[in-house]
Protein backbone atom coordinates (compact mmCIF):
# COMPACT_ATOMS: atom_id res chain seq x y z
CA UNK A 1 0.00 0.00 0.00
CA UNK A 2 2.86 2.37 0.80
CA UNK A 3 4.42 1.65 -2.59
CA UNK A 4 1.09 2.39 -4.31
CA UNK A 5 0.81 5.76 -2.54
CA UNK A 6 4.41 6.73 -3.33
CA UNK A 7 4.10 5.71 -7.00
CA UNK A 8 0.72 7.44 -7.32
CA UNK A 9 2.04 10.70 -5.88
CA UNK A 10 5.20 10.43 -7.99
CA UNK A 11 3.21 9.84 -11.17
CA UNK A 12 0.90 12.74 -10.34
CA UNK A 13 3.91 15.03 -9.92
CA UNK A 14 5.40 13.61 -13.11
CA UNK A 15 2.11 14.35 -14.90
CA UNK A 16 2.40 18.00 -13.89
CA UNK A 17 6.06 18.30 -14.83
CA UNK A 18 5.56 16.66 -18.22
CA UNK A 19 2.48 18.77 -18.94
CA UNK A 20 4.51 21.86 -18.15
CA UNK A 21 7.42 20.77 -20.34
CA UNK A 22 5.23 19.75 -23.24
CA UNK A 23 2.81 22.69 -23.12
CA UNK A 24 5.00 25.62 -22.10
CA UNK A 25 8.01 25.19 -24.38
CA UNK A 26 8.53 27.58 -27.31
CA UNK A 27 7.44 25.04 -29.96
CA UNK A 28 4.23 24.25 -28.07
CA UNK A 29 3.50 27.92 -27.56
CA UNK A 30 3.87 28.51 -31.30
CA UNK A 31 1.66 25.52 -32.18
CA UNK A 32 -0.97 26.24 -29.54
CA UNK A 33 -1.45 29.88 -30.56
CA UNK A 34 -4.59 28.66 -32.34
CA UNK A 35 -6.19 28.21 -28.89
CA UNK A 36 -5.33 31.76 -27.73
CA UNK A 37 -8.81 33.20 -28.34
CA UNK A 38 -10.39 30.63 -25.99
CA UNK A 39 -7.50 29.95 -23.58
CA UNK A 40 -7.54 31.19 -20.00
CA UNK A 41 -5.15 34.02 -19.27
CA UNK A 42 -3.89 32.33 -16.10
CA UNK A 43 -3.69 28.81 -14.76
CA UNK A 44 -5.18 27.71 -11.44
CA UNK A 45 -2.05 26.02 -10.12
CA UNK A 46 -3.58 24.42 -6.97
CA UNK A 47 -6.41 22.92 -9.04
CA UNK A 48 -3.91 21.69 -11.63
CA UNK A 49 -1.80 20.00 -8.96
CA UNK A 50 -4.88 18.38 -7.41
CA UNK A 51 -6.05 17.11 -10.80
CA UNK A 52 -2.61 15.71 -11.71
CA UNK A 53 -2.35 13.95 -8.32
CA UNK A 54 -5.83 12.49 -8.78
CA UNK A 55 -4.81 11.27 -12.25
CA UNK A 56 -1.75 9.62 -10.71
CA UNK A 57 -3.83 7.71 -8.17
CA UNK A 58 -6.54 6.76 -10.65
CA UNK A 59 -4.14 5.57 -13.34
CA UNK A 60 -2.06 3.56 -10.86
CA UNK A 61 -5.23 1.95 -9.49
CA UNK A 62 -6.54 1.09 -12.97
CA UNK A 63 -3.15 -0.34 -13.91
CA UNK A 64 -3.27 -2.63 -10.87
CA UNK A 65 -6.88 -3.62 -11.55
CA UNK A 66 -6.17 -4.76 -15.10
CA UNK A 67 -2.58 -5.93 -14.52
CA UNK A 68 -3.35 -9.66 -14.89
CA UNK A 69 -5.20 -9.15 -18.17
CA UNK A 70 -2.46 -7.06 -19.80
CA UNK A 71 -0.31 -9.03 -22.23
CA UNK A 72 3.32 -9.64 -21.41
CA UNK A 73 5.29 -11.63 -18.90
CA UNK A 74 7.18 -8.69 -17.41
CA UNK A 75 5.84 -5.62 -15.66
CA UNK A 76 7.55 -3.21 -18.04
CA UNK A 77 5.77 -4.79 -21.03
CA UNK A 78 2.47 -4.58 -19.17
CA UNK A 79 3.24 -0.93 -18.41
CA UNK A 80 3.94 -0.15 -22.07
CA UNK A 81 0.76 -1.89 -23.21
CA UNK A 82 -1.19 0.00 -20.54
CA UNK A 83 0.38 3.25 -21.75
CA UNK A 84 -0.65 2.55 -25.34
CA UNK A 85 -4.23 1.79 -24.27
CA UNK A 86 -4.48 4.95 -22.18
CA UNK A 87 -2.81 7.00 -24.93
CA UNK A 88 -5.36 5.83 -27.47
CA UNK A 89 -8.39 6.54 -25.28
CA UNK A 90 -7.07 9.74 -23.67
CA UNK A 91 -5.00 11.40 -26.38
CA UNK A 92 -5.74 9.99 -29.82
CA UNK A 93 -9.52 10.08 -29.48
CA UNK A 94 -9.42 13.63 -28.10
CA UNK A 95 -7.05 14.77 -30.86
CA UNK A 96 -9.24 13.20 -33.55
CA UNK A 97 -12.32 14.91 -32.14
CA UNK A 98 -10.49 18.25 -32.01
CA UNK A 99 -9.35 17.82 -35.62
CA UNK A 100 -12.91 17.05 -36.73
CA UNK A 101 -14.67 19.80 -34.77
CA UNK A 102 -12.25 22.72 -34.83
CA UNK A 103 -10.02 24.48 -37.30
CA UNK A 104 -6.75 23.37 -35.70
CA UNK A 105 -3.66 22.92 -37.89
CA UNK A 106 -2.49 19.34 -38.40
CA UNK A 107 0.99 20.03 -36.91
CA UNK A 108 -0.71 21.08 -33.66
CA UNK A 109 -2.75 17.87 -33.60
CA UNK A 110 0.33 15.75 -34.36
CA UNK A 111 2.34 17.49 -31.64
CA UNK A 112 -0.41 16.68 -29.15
CA UNK A 113 -0.49 13.04 -30.26
CA UNK A 114 3.30 12.63 -30.08
CA UNK A 115 3.79 14.36 -26.74
CA UNK A 116 0.83 12.45 -25.34
CA UNK A 117 2.46 9.19 -26.41
CA UNK A 118 5.74 10.14 -24.74
CA UNK A 119 3.95 11.15 -21.54
CA UNK A 120 1.88 7.97 -21.38
CA UNK A 121 4.91 5.75 -22.12
CA UNK A 122 6.90 7.37 -19.31
CA UNK A 123 4.04 6.86 -16.87
CA UNK A 124 3.30 3.32 -18.10
CA UNK A 125 6.94 2.32 -17.72
CA UNK A 126 6.96 3.79 -14.21
CA UNK A 127 3.89 1.73 -13.29
CA UNK A 128 5.26 -1.39 -14.96
CA UNK A 129 8.58 -1.16 -13.12
CA UNK A 130 7.15 -0.33 -9.70
CA UNK A 131 3.64 -1.75 -9.29
CA UNK A 132 2.38 -5.32 -9.05
CA UNK A 133 -0.87 -6.51 -7.56
CA UNK A 134 -0.70 -8.26 -4.22
CA UNK A 135 -1.39 -11.93 -4.75
Has residue 115 got a pLDDT over 90? yes
Query: How far are the Cα atoms of 23, 44, 83, 97 from residue 132, in angstroms, in the given order?
Result: 31, 34, 15, 34
pLDDT, position 42: 83
Is position 135 within any domain? no
| Neighbouring residues of 135: CB distance < 8 A, sequence distance ≥ 6 | none
Total domains, the chain: 1
Q: What is the band of 1 on the pLDDT scale with cuts at 50, 70, 90?
A: confident
| Neighbouring residues of 72: CB distance < 8 A, sequence distance ≥ 6 | 78, 80, 81
Is position 11 within any domain? yes
Has residue 91 got a pLDDT over 80? yes
pLDDT, position 9: 92
35 DSSP 8-state letter: G
Give the percent of the chain with pLDDT over 70.
99
Has residue 45 got a pLDDT over 90? no
What residue numbers bound the domain in which 96 lies?
2-130
Amino acid sequence: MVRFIIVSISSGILFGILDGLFNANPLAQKLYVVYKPIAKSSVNIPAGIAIDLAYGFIMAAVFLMIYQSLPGEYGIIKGIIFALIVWFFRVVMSAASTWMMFNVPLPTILYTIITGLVEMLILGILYGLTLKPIT
